[in-house]
Amino acid sequence: MVVKEEDAATLLITRLILLEPGTIQTHPDMGVGIVSRFRHSNEIDVAKLSTRIKDQIAKYLPQFTLVNVQCELDNDK
């Protein structure tokens, strides 16, 4: 299966968000680490998460710097 255009961009950004820092030895800071850093936190800082995602995209996926990633917190779940 070949992923193209918007789907490819979405897939790359999603993988970057899910990637745990330290997984790739040549780029130890690569990855947002949303599960380990933000999932079980008592007080999730949405602004910090958004900034981390934007910084990671700028550094590792610069071709997608114009992509707007919006983070929202659903307190009901």
CB atoms within 10 A of CB 32: 21
For 3-43, the pLDDT digits (tens) are: 787 888 899 999 999 999 999 999 999 999 998 887 776 66
Query: Is the CA virtual torsion 35, 39, 43, 48 positive or negative?
Result: positive
Query: For the chain, what is the largest distance between any 2 Cα atoms, rounded to a whole number of angstroms?
Result: 40
- Residue 74 — pLDDT band, cuts 50, 70, 90? confident
Q: Where are the beta strands (DSSP E) in the chain?
A: none
Predicted TM-score (pTM) of the model is 0.82
- Residue 71 — pLDDT band, cuts 50, 70, 90? confident
